């Protein structure tokens, strides 16, 4: 996705403890205000990649408000992550929040139909 598009939000987060880096992009339908597409690119361990992948399935079709309420504990529980890998689910939570923040920052002062800024 082109990160300059007004309907795209990009989140880039990393975990200094282990070197994992996660890039998450969302495309928001401006009529419904729901996430219509989501993509990720993750460099890291299998748990980080699985957390990213699960998050994309989870948020597709969600409103920004609902997606912003996702907690890492929900991801960790679904994937049965061990305590030593909880930071991977935290990365996913941080990535969706960062992508939503980026999207909303582009919408300041712009009229929207289905989206509240």
Considering 18, 21, 49, 86, which one is annotated as catalytic? 18
Considering 64, 88, 92, 96, which one is annotated as catalytic? 88
Domains of the chain: 8-106 (3.90.1010.10)
80 carries an active-site annotation: no
Q: How far is CA 107 from CA 44, 46, 83, 103, in A?
A: 32, 34, 38, 7
Q: What is the pLDDT of residue 3?
A: 85
Helix (H) or strand (E) holding 96: helix 86-107
pTM given for the model:
0.87
Q: Would you place residue 107 in the very low, low, confident or very high pLDDT band (cuts 50, 70, 90)?
A: confident
pLDDT in tens, 42-79: 999 999 999 999 999 999 999 999 999 999 999 999 99
Q: What is the percent of the chain where pLDDT is above 70?
A: 91
45 carries an active-site annotation: no
Write the CB contacts of 49 (distance below 8 Å, at least 6 apart in sequence): 42
């Amino acid at each position: 996705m082109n990160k300059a598009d007004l309907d795209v939000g990009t989140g880039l987060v990393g975990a200094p403890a282990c070197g994992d880096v996660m890039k998450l992009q969302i495309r928001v339908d401006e009529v419904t205000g729901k996430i219509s597409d989501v993509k990720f690119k993750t460099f890291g361990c299998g748990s980080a990649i699985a957390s990213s992948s699960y998050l994309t399935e989870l948020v597709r079709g969600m409103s920004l408000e609902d997606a912003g309420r996702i907690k890492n504990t929900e991801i960790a529980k679904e994937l049965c992550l061990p305590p030593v890998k909880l930071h991977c689910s935290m990365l996913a939570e941080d990535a969706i929040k960062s992508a939503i923040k980026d999207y909303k920052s582009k919408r300041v002062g712009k009229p929207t139909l289905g989206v509240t800024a």
